[in-house]
Amino acid sequence: MAARVVIFFKTMQAARCPTDELSLTNCAVVSEKDLQSGQNVTVKTTPNHKFVFTVKTHHTVAPGSIAFSLPQRKWAGLSIGQEVEVANYNFDKSKQCIGSMTIEIDFLQKKSTDTSPYDSDKMAAEFIQQFNNQAFSVTQQLVFSFCDKLFGLMVKDIEAMDASILKGEPASGKKQKIDVGLMVGNSQVVFEKAESSSLTLVGKAKTKEARQTIINPDWNFEKMGIGGLDKEFSDIFRRAFASRVFPPDIVEQMGCKHVKGILLFGPPGCGKTLMARQIGKMLNAREPKIVNGPEILNKYVGESEANIRKLFADAEDEQKRLGANSGLHILIFDELDAICKQRGTGASSTGVHDTVVNQLLSKIDGVEQLNNILVIGMTNRPDLIDDALMRPGRFEVKMEIGLPDEKGRVQILNIHTNKMRSFDLLAQDVDIKELAAETKNYSGAELEGLVRAAQSTAMNRHIKATSTVEVDMEKAEKLRVTRNDFMGSLNNDIKPAFGTNAEDYSSYIMNGIIKWGDPVSHVLDDGELLVQQTKNSDRTPLVAVLLEGPPHSGKTALAAQIAEDSEFPFIKICSPDKMIGHSEISKCQAIKKVFDDAYKSQLSCVVVDDIERLLDYVPIGPRFSNLVLQALLVLLKKAPPKGRKLLIIGTTSRKDVLQEMEMLDAFSTTIHVPNISTGEQLVDALELLGSFSDKERASIAQQLKGKRVWIGIKKLLVLIEMSLQMDETYRVTKFLSLLRDEGADRKFYE
């Protein structure tokens, strides 16, 4: 006889569960006049929110009411007396029977916690018995009584039972997640301890968390003194440890091999060694063996290789005894380039480096390779390391530890000022975010040095200036490190190795930019557009512009001004005056170093000044350095690494020469910087310079009216200064005479 299906739809009032005993049933309680025990209903609380409950009848509940326990009301967002729409809900047993359900568990009340182990298998059997044939939803909350203890549960995940099993057929292996399911007798329940819970679970019916012990859950970047490396850490864990947190049997079934080597590289002082030093604290593994590269080398034959074998001996022995269940052994090589140089280099050497590399390769990825090791190498010269070590299976994870961004600098400064802050030794006017914004391109080590310098400045204020060095104890008790201490150290003591040195370009614009006419304004405006293009455009990470014009027209000063106005974190001027006496090879290396340093910053500007001088060009012959030319052509066209942007500003007085060398094509655009060409422009320049009196300028203007001149601003400054050395009576005459002589041979002064 078919079961009678009761169609039900009614508006009811939410009420409080009548007894504690009924609260533990996970059922909504109704009057027997409304519904039958065991029915499943949907409770619609808002137009967009429905919740599925199994109901139970009780005589104390008034008709038209539906009673919920506190966890149910909390889950569904119900309040006492709220009107809800209640309707029948029928499960599709071919798709909605629970195959497995993951439940997060913790003590209901913190005061009732204990350290006794609870058998999760018995707990699962009791759970299925108590709640058999009931509806469960993902995120549902309920109370569970086990061994006279109350536990708070939350459903995390539900997988539907395989339809093949329900038909009595072999399992298909397909798994489907569902939001609502019906508990049946052969459902599986898996308990997972809530985060930060002190509950101890034993048995099989718990998650594989016990096996995922490689990563210590208590580690914290800032407590360990590491800041600004969040992304790098997450990438390392994803690549190096994802396969290690899985049970060995699953890894073996996948045919997965663990990552055995990580190479950390980047500028000095950015946290490579610090990261490796702390990595043992982050992992529930044996204490890492930290090895400085040069310590491996030994003057006796074979001893260097023996030192490598000793490092791997413990891991080798454990793998033989325990196989796949062996623990993780971590080896950290600092200054890896000291022992792993390219093989075959250095003809006069003893070949020790070659055999050390061979021994290391055989241990990491040889015939009897080890699968329970993780080798972390660190270097700031990855170009020196043998190529064989860099392929997958060896140091396959290559991670650049670059200069910290602003968010990273905030973290680092917080770490180094944390102790001062806790003892109230940091003044209120110190703004860490302001300091982070001011310290573009500072490495972690330089930021630490900045804090130390500020501390020294603050302490120095409290030392008595007497014949003996004494501390003024009365003032020392009021010691505070202030904003001025940091700013003073920032300006005077600590300068970034990869950054902007104002002294580099200040000498080029010590007289300022004289805007004698529209041509100068146009150059600066175009320069500003190129700066904005570099900052904002994702399609052109490399922008190269050439400022060309006659000698002394102010090209270098304009290039330096555009670079300074850009406020890029990295600004460097590549100038021939720093390469006097360099050979062609050393000049190429110096130019390449400037560009390599620029690639390490998010935003960089490189000024390549006086290109024809860098190329050693002379018109007699003519001759030039083809080696430097080819190096510049490559660097001018080479796009910076992903996520980095570079603006290159070149200057030249011989555009025709660069045209013949096919160098103009390497620049995105060319901007012409002209000389002063009219008397009116020259008078405007004199007025801006303020060197002559109004009467003298009027006399000069009268003499130059309607005449054509041709003189660079730099040359004009020299003529003015020479004229000013004369007596006031002869200044104007001398200036006009010098101006006439300057342009006489080219007929520029007419």
- Both tokens of 47, joined, read 């137009």
Q: Which residue has the tokens 């080029």?
A: 508
E strand or H helix at 73: helix 70-76
State which amino acid sits at residue 200.
T
Contacts of 142 (CB under 8 A, 6+ apart): 26, 69, 71, 72, 153
Q: Where are the alpha helices (DSSP H) in 537-662?
A: 555-566, 584-599, 611-614, 626-637, 655-660
Strand order in the sheet with 645-652: 570-574, 603-608, 645-652, 542-548, 669-672
- Both tokens of 685, joined, read 């320049």
Q: Do 123 and 135 form a contact (C-beta atoms < 8 A)?
A: no
Nearest 5°: phi and psi at 44? Answer: -95, 110
Rounded to whole angstroms, the Cα distance separating 721 from 452 reads: 46
Rounded to whole angstroms, the Cα distance separating 575 from 554 reads: 15
Marked catalytic residue, from 556, 572, 587, 684? 556
- Both tokens of 373, joined, read 């090791």
Marked catalytic residue, from 500, 609, 652, 684? 609
Is position 556 annotated as part of the catalytic site? yes
Marked catalytic residue, from 515, 655, 707, 714? 714
State which amino acid sits at residue 710.
W
> How far is residue 328 CA from its own chain's centroid?
27
Bond preceding residue 117 cis, omega within 30 of 0: no
Marked catalytic residue, from 272, 363, 440, 555? 555
606, β-bridge pairs: 572, 648
Rounded to whole angstroms, the Cα distance separating 408 from 505 reads: 28
- Both tokens of 322, joined, read 């325990």
Nearest 5 degrees, angle CA 730-CA 731-CA 736? 100
Rounded to whole angstroms, the Cα distance separating 627 from 175 reads: 64
Marked catalytic residue, from 162, 386, 485, 610? 610
- Both tokens of 358, joined, read 């061979």
* 411 CB-contact burial (10 Å; exposed 0-12 / middle 13-18 / buried 19+): buried
Is position 637 annotated as part of the catalytic site? yes
User: Which of 66, 62, 58 shows the shortest CA–CA distance to 12?
Assistant: 66
Q: Which residue has the tokens 């300006």?
A: 491
Rounded to whole angstroms, the Cα distance separating 342 from 364 reads: 17
Is position 386 annotated as part of the catalytic site? no
Rounded to whole angstroms, the Cα distance separating 490 from 503 reads: 15
Is position 714 annotated as part of the catalytic site? yes
Rounded to whole angstroms, the Cα distance separating 330 from 376 reads: 8
Q: Please give the full DSSP string across 104-130, using - where no structure is assigned.
A: EEEESSGGG----EEEHHHHHHHHHHH
Rounded to whole angstroms, the Cα distance separating 292 from 309 reads: 15
> How far is residue 8 CA from its own chain's centroid?
57
Contacts of 672 (CB under 8 A, 6+ apart): 548, 549
How many CB atoms neighbour CB 204 within 10 A? 9
Q: Which residue has the tokens 């006009």?
A: 736
Q: Do 448 and 412 form a contact (C-beta atoms < 8 A)?
A: yes
Torsion over CA of 473, 477, 481 and 485, rounded to 10 degrees?
A: -30
Catalytic positions: 555-556, 609-610, 637, 714
